[in-house]
Structure 1
């Protein structure tokens, strides 16, 4: 099997990582693919333009995963109306620090407000998919019920896509690892602040948290696992 280790593609022993590759105990966790990041308008409150080009590939990957019986969980940031749990409470740190790099962010206070257009999905959510709509900080696990949902589904491996690679994806990968989930991050289906930070985040995942793979490689492994379970003599 092929995976990326410190941003170099390597051939790994699939037997060594067989427990990472069981589609029956895996869920895809797709992070923050909503209009608040992806809308192509000047009032987008937290723009992540590099992630727009993975919307269609993520939809395609999810279609393939569903066809194999792999469960999909969509995560989105949603804040209470009025910003009481962020801008009018204790503001998220990124609101102060990220503009030091990118400059002022017009309309940032509108980011993720419940009921606004900024929480609308951009990637496709199918009727059988699961959703977690209470992400209020950087990790998909905090302060949401994602851990409860995954454990109730007997999930052992999480496959992460979405954005930002160096922010919410990385935080979620750390939290998943600390909760003893096996972690796979899809290198071709995540996007970071820029190429440098994206590469750094993926390198950290590969050294400390789990596997960094391309989506086509993982789909191939899942298909192989399902064929083997149907015909174990092959």
Structure 2
């Protein structure tokens, strides 16, 4: 069982931004699933609980320059993104972290202009290593593309990955449990938002002092 030592654990939100899961999303089906399933509320609760427990919060945001320089074009997904009515332009409201998730001054925000994963070709790996992170709690969207890429990249880089199964979303809705059960369960420790909240609450003020936390209970 993975130990949730706050000194070596980070909570990562993946593409939880207005232009992806917000009310004015470029991907309304995904946004609707993220909101109606309660995923965003659960991630907001995890973010709020992580900080007092001493767990570093990191937000991974996907964006592009208005001129498209440096953006990936080697897949249908990237080319389709260029034609969407809402574009994830740097500095625009579309790339702000979506409510009800709050960004605190202690959080890190890592932005990428290319690719499918916040760990590929960005500062994220170096930042996590500098923080002494060995366990990465992955949340967000989508279970179709970015979340699996993040999980596999993290495992390949030597991190232990914890996946709260009710804090990720994809489309269609029934696809998410399938990829979790048949692929991500092979490389990540599965748990739930409630179990993580209990684990982080149990840490109390000691979490900030780097005391090791309780083991992550597996999802049933």
What is the aligned counterpart of 1:214 among 192, 204, 207?
192
Whether contact under 8 Å (2:61, 2:110) holds in the other structure is yes
Which structure: greater strand fraction?
A: 1
| Structure 1 position 119 matched with structure 2 position 95 | yes
**Following the alignment from structure 1 to structure 2, what is the Cα–Cα distance between the partners of residues 132 and 189?**
19
User: Which of 84, 108, 114 does residue 69 from structure 2 map onto?
Assistant: 84
Deviations 1:68-106 (A, max 9, x none): 1111000100212211233xx62543146xx7xxxxx89
For the Cα contact (< 8 Å) 1:26–1:70, is it kept in 2?
Answer: yes
Helix, strand or coil for the counterpart of 1:58? helix
Q: What is the match of residue 14 of structure 1?
A: none
Larger Rg: 1 or 2? 1
- Please, which runs of 5 or more residues in structure 1 have no aligned partner? 1-16, 100-104
For the residue of structure 1 that corresponds to 2:51, the secondary structure is helix
- Scaled by the length of structure 2, what TM-score is found? 0.81
Map of 1:136 onto structure 2: 114
Gapped runs of 5+ residues in structure 2? 213-220
Total equivalences in the alignment: 201
Q: Distance in 2 between matches of 1:135 and 1:124?
A: 23
Residue 27 of structure 2 is matched in structure 1 by 46
Q: Quickly say closer, same or farther: Cα 1:224–1:120, change in 2 above 3 A.
A: closer
Contact kept? 1:77, 1:112, Cα under 8 Å: yes
Q: How big is each residue's C-alpha offset from its partner over 1:156-206, in whole Å with a ceiling of 9 and x where there is no partner?
A: 000011110221111000000000100011111111112232012211111
Q: Give, in angstroms, the shift of residue 62 of structure 1.
A: 0.9
Go from structure 1 to structure 2 and tell me whether the alpha carbon gap of 1:20 and 1:77 turns closer, same or farther (over 3 Å shift). same
Partner of 2:51: 66
